[in-house]
Chains A and B, each alone.
Chain A
Amino acid sequence: MTAVDPLAASCPLPLAETERVLLGHGSGGQLSAELIGDVLVPALGSAAPAGALEDAAVVPIDGVDVVLSTDAYVVSPLFFPGGDIGALAVHGTVNDLAMRAALPVALAVAYVVEEGFPLADLRRVAASVGAAARAAGVPVVTGDTKVVGRGAADGLYVVTTGVGQRLAGAAPSATGAAPGDAVLLSGPIGSHGTTILSVREGLGFDADICSDTQPLHRLVAAMVDAGGDAVHALRDPTRGGIASALNEIAVTSGVGIEIDEQALPVPAPVQAACEILGLDPAHVANEGCLVAFVAAHRADAVLAAMRSRPEGRAAVNIGTVRDTEPGRVVVRTSVGSRRILDMLVGEQLPRIC
């Protein structure tokens, strides 16, 4: 390794001015949004998607609403309590399709493998992809495999692309949340992110926590069945946690969102881990829950439908959509005041004490 000259940078505002990609650019927070909005999408020019950026795109083909999504999975470690990179790659893409009320029709899977990666681990991941796809009821119809030299990748990356077909009767969109909507959350938050952190850093919380990775398309089907077009917007709060998901919807839909801090379901081990590390559970990643914006007159019916499914057994109403303070997410605190729930700027970093 060569020396890095710390004094060579020209500006005293390093975070704003850096010309290199930081880990925080992949955190799902403000830096990620800037990378996409300032660099990646403008580069597409006239080929850029029209309208809001969604988890999955609706592509009408011969009168059929085909839904398309792609995602790359780079999790470390590859195996963790509650799942592995293979299951995650299937669930993540199935869920991105589901957030547009689509059932998955087919998946494509690409593996990027580092030279020297244990074949036994690759078999284990491939078997997990198969098991997750079978359980979700979606075939893997094509794929790709690349091997890169030792040191050119961190073991194994998995990329999945999914095609789905939209359910009749609902067209949820990130732009769809409307004043008066109930904000429904399908289950507890924070388990996936704290599990990964615990296993990766050897913190020893993993005996109490496991990832919540699971497919959500059947839950969404039940919600659409109960709520129809009253289901205005859906988002699975993955990277950046529920704080990012709510802020994205608030900005994209041009509405204010008010949630009750006491109503947010945070499992005790997750709360404990977050307390120790100085993290906010609202910023921690999830892989098996969704947040839904549903017209008030159908909110109870949709909540009941959610609770009838195992994925939504612990579903709760966490707040409402307002026509005031558009683009802002406000939390009612335990002492009765209100504060803004903001997106994370960069990487979540543990506090000193």
Chain B
Amino acid sequence: MKYLDEYRDPRLARVLLDELHRTTTRPWSLMEVCGGQTHTIVRQGIDEVLPPGIRMIHGPGCPVCVTPLETLDRAMAIAARPEVTFTSFGDMLRVPGSHTDLLALKARGADVRVVYSPMDAVALAQQQPDREVVFLAVGFETTAPANATAVLHAATLGLTNFTMLVSHVLVPPAMTAILDAAECEVQGFLAAGHVCTVMGWTEYEPLAARYRVPIVVTGFEPLDLLEGILMAVRQLEQGRFEVENQYARAVQRTGNGPAQEAVRRVFRISDRAWRGIGTIGASGLELADAYAAFDATRRFDVGRLTAAEDPRCIAGRILTGLSVPTDCPAYGTTCTPRSPLGAPMVSSEGTCAAFHRAGRRRPAGAAVSGGAR
């Protein structure tokens, strides 16, 4: 397929791998930030063909995984109301809240629907003026512009039956939190290509300089990732700590201006809880006061719900790269995609689910590093 096969060519993969083996003289630990990149790395077994010293740490970039339990419980409480048509991207439907998930609610009669765009939810609100249509707006900087545009469109239409349950998160504060952690082993980052398509990479330049880490804006295909890893390793080997762009076919330094403007108009930056990690200052987006009428937590008065995680889940350690899924005592036993304890096992972008789908096993009798702490 044009523009896709080129990035999956086994011969070019071999060339990049050979170059990586020649370049690597000592061990390095790199983090891919984005869940989509984790998906490709594990699905293609890229981490298994890297030079022995190169360790890939899987980062917090799965938007489903980091959505707080409280937000999910709020989603369930709203979706269960008889007057509500609750809409979401497909990934969110199977994520367990404290008591249930959206698919199970749907089976019990709730009006829960998968949409492919927030604009579909706005269209539903237009078509069903007697229903309250709610959209669960999660994701990183990648999905925020489309969600902002949907709010602007709903405002233009004068819709009073459309609201959003917003749980947006931002990448650079999460990277900073990871780098500030005492146990941090990350020496270089592969930044998420899609996020940078919107935001560019200027935000990463002070990070790279301050923490002396190379940051390579990287795409999602196997060859993208191999080249991104090679570029990061080259910098580390040469003692350089810069932001480089592997994903030049999609990303420009300053990103997409109109998309950023839409986000700035509709949302404001706020502190945000990350599931399994905790609250990170200025790491989220919430609706600006001018658009508070579209805030589902106000419309349905579910802002005060609190929830507790399953204590067996080590999602926080997984999401910050301090443990890998096969370290977890529950992995593959009490926690599987069929019966997940935490979000990283549910989402198709989640590290635990990616490991499980790829058949990665917990070594028999292996010492468990990073249990439920």
Contact = CB atoms under 8 A, between A and B. Distances in A.
Interface of A: 1-18, 20-24, 30-31, 201, 203, 262, 268, 271-272, 275, 277-278, 328, 330, 333-340, 342, 345-347, 349-353
B276 interface: no
Given A6-B99, A333-B44, A352 B64 contact: yes
Of the four ranges (under 10, 10 to 19, 20 to 34, 35 or more), the interface on chain B belongs to: 35 or more
Interface stretch (B8-16, B158-166, B318-326): B8-16
B99 A271 contact: no
A7 B99 contact: yes
B103 A262 contact: no
B337 A345 contact: yes
Interface in B240-285: none
Interface stretch (B24-32, B85-93, B207-215): B85-93
A6 B79 CA distance: 9
Given A2-B82, A353-B194, A13 B109 contact: no
Nearest to B143: A353
A268 B348 contact: no
B107 A22 contact: yes
B100 A16 contact: no
Contacts of A15: 94, 96, 101, 103-104, 338-340
Contacts, number: 169
Interface of B: 1-2, 4, 8-10, 13-14, 17, 36, 42-46, 48-49, 63-64, 73, 76-77, 79-82, 89-94, 96-101, 103-111, 114, 116, 138-140, 142-143, 194, 222, 226, 310, 337-341, 347-349, 356-359
Given A345-B337, A351-B91, A352-B91, A1 B82 contact: yes
A260 B237 CA distance: 35
A339 B45 contact: yes
Contacts of A350: 89-91, 114, 116
13 contacts: A4-B105, A6-B76, A16-B338, A17-B339, A21-B107, A203-B116, A262-B10, A333-B43, A335-B49, A336-B14, A339-B44, A352-B89, A352-B92
A102 B162 CA distance: 55
Contacts of A352: 63-64, 89, 91-92, 138-139, 143, 349
Contacts of B42: 339
Contacts of B99: 6-12, 14
